[in-house]
Homo-oligomer: A and B are copies of this chain.
Amino acid sequence: MGTNLVAALDVGGTSIKAAMLDERLRVVTALRAPTARAEPGAAARTVADQIAGLVRELEAGAGAPARATGVAVPGIVDDDAGIARFSANLGWWDAPMRDMLAERLGTPVAFAHDVRAGGLAEARLGAARGFDDVAFIAVGTGIACGLLIGGRSHHGGGYAGEIGHMDIGHGLPCTCGGTGCLEAIASAGAVARRYAERTGAKADGALGVVTAAQAGDADAVAVLTEATDGIGRAVLALGRIVAPQVVVLGGGLFAAGEFVLDPVRRWLSAHLVFQPAPELRIAELGDEAGCLGAGLLAIDAAASGSPASPGATSTETVDSTASTNAVAPQDVTS
């Protein structure tokens, strides 16, 4: 008996994407809701209540219960412990979200950082299928990196992959309090802001700057070149330390595809010196990556059967789902 469905939620600062997925990660039913706001101190509890409500709505929509739930969130997340350490956007500190959700739902819950969940999905189902050492860099409002090492998601207690706050030497201040951070010149937000500062003209986001650069706007080219050179520098450092086989670039900025990826590739080729270049690829799963990664983790949590602790072994056992849940990308994003 029993259902083969899992609930997968990607919680953002402004909205939550929620989907009921089958065992091949096909969408059975999906929802979207604005992220609930609450007083400081009540944020985690409020969002946990909201997530539980959304899972019940998904179950009603699908006409069947979810065997398990996977939740991906931004910020500093200790995936193994199931704790949301910090999120400026969501306003929570050290929230034991996995346990809070397992208590509300009564079924197994997996909890992960959104970019790590996205990276897992890209490595299992997307642009880096078949590789064990993978970096997924999401360049959106901020910049973060999900690392798969030896086929396992690596989180470093929540602090791994903070590539957006790596000092790449430009010397400008960052909102984090540091200087020289990649994010300060290369995030989609920074690209749009820096173009506006430079020209006095407002661009339609980072992709507006890309469009202007494609039309030959020298200011747009300059701003984008600083961003792609900076990303090249960060990928080079990642290469020196981790040497991933494949680096997948996604998020808002890389929706522009090869026009933005190619300069990164060229900067990198010119600076690697003795190291072979990693394969650079554009993400395939787009906005769905976080939700699909949460779904992969939920399938694992269902298999491990423990309501509140996919815990330390989760990434290991997720490996075994790769074969049974491998789907063609078109199945996934439909």
Contacts and interface: CB of A to CB of B under 8 A. Distances in A.
Interface of A: 76, 86, 133, 145, 147, 149-150, 152, 154-163, 165-167, 169, 176-178, 233, 236-245, 271, 273-276
Contacts of A150: 149-150, 152, 154
B273 A242 contact: no
Given A149-B149, A237-B166, A243 B274 contact: no
A178 B242 contact: no
Given A147-B242, A167-B233, A167-B237, 8 more contacts: A149-B150, A154-B242, A157-B245, A159-B240, A163-B241, A167-B271, A178-B271, A241-B242
A240 B152 contact: no
A167 B236 contact: yes
22 contacts: A149-B149, A150-B150, A155-B243, A156-B242, A156-B245, A157-B245, A159-B239, A159-B276, A160-B241, A160-B242, A160-B243, A162-B243, A162-B275, A165-B275, A167-B169, A167-B233, A169-B169, A176-B274, A178-B271, A178-B273, A241-B242, A242-B242
Select the residue from A157, A159, A162 with max chain B CB neighbours within 10 A.
A159
Nearest to A152: B150
State the 6 A-B residue pairs at the shortest beta-carbon distance, nearest first. A156-B243, A159-B243, A160-B243, A169-B169, A178-B273, A166-B240
A149 B154 CA distance: 8
B237 A275 contact: no
Nearest to A155: B243
A197 to B, nearest CB: 24
A171 to B, nearest CB: 10
A35 B273 CA distance: 28
A178 to B, nearest CB: 5
Contact of A241 (B158, B176, B237, B274): B237
A176 B236 CA distance: 15
A46 to B, nearest CB: 24
Contacts of A159: 239-240, 243, 275-276
B241 A166 contact: yes
Nearest to A316: B150
A88 to B, nearest CB: 10
Nearest to A238: B241
A154 B160 CA distance: 15
B241 A161 contact: yes
A177 B274 contact: yes
Contacts of A236: 167
A43 B165 CA distance: 44
A238 B154 CA distance: 13
A134 B240 CA distance: 16
Contacts of A271: 167, 178
